[in-house]
Amino acid sequence: MSAPASSPDRSKLAVVVLISGRGSNMEAILAASDAPDYPARVVGVVSNRPDAAGLATAQARGIPVRVVNHKDFPAGEAGRAPFDAALAEAVDSFSPGLVVLAGFMRILTPGFVTRYEGRLVNIHPSLLPSFPGLHTHRRALDEGVRVHGCTVHFVTAQLDHGPIILQAAVPVLDGDSEATLSARVLAEEHRIYPRAVAWFAQDRLRVEAGRVRVAGSPTTAVAAFHSPGGA
């Protein structure tokens, strides 16, 4: 007789990941969750694009997926609220404790953000508040900055703002292109996003006067910053 399949560890925080494409940050979180002591588990993946490559990645791991195709809704402002209502229904079907945006290329309505306030996080490819929005690497190169990076933050109704949980910095090198700089930043995204999710799952994050404090760290400044080669 074959052994029964192992059941999910209900002591771990249930996480839903929202993606629009490959979901490489989702993959990083999944890889981290393979460790027995990682305190979170991905219970569902939702995409606004039926052709998102990350859906196959999730399914290969036996993770349920949902698609809420934004093209099934009216274009522009008229479709935003109905889309977000359907998205929330899909997310809530998994009963998550945390919702993680991992390359989810939709601007969420204030109503959706409020629904998941305090348990909705995003990663952005810049050192916020610098370079919110799109084309961050091109803009960093155009501005001639010498340090660039990425930011994990709680999501608020203001685009690419919200209390900062963790940042990682990389140097901008002479001769960098958008592609080389993007690759350097993406490697750091893959390092810090699983860490930030773990901190949330361990109930170590406190927002005080708009700032995130990480409980149990020697100093918040050190805990909230990561550089290549750092701990």
User: Which residues are identified as catalytic?
Assistant: 124
- Both tokens assigned to 204: 């170590």
Closest by CA position to 123, among listed 220, 204, 31, 195: 195
The identity of residue 84, as a single letter, is D
Sheet containing 164-171, strands listed edge to edge, beginning at the edge strand earlier in sequence = 65-67, 40-47, 13-19, 98-101, 120-124, 147-154, 164-171, 225-226
CB 26 within 8 A of CB 55: no
- Which strand (E) or helix (H) includes residue 44? strand 40-47
* 129: preceding bond cis by omega (within 30 degrees): yes
Q: By three-state DSSP, how is residue 46 classified?
A: strand
Q: Max Cα separation, the chain? A: 65
User: What are the CA-CA distances from residue 108 to residues 22, 80, 116, 117, 142 (Å)?
Assistant: 20, 8, 11, 12, 28
The Cα–Cα gap between 85 and 107 comes to 13
The Cα–Cα gap between 96 and 19 comes to 16
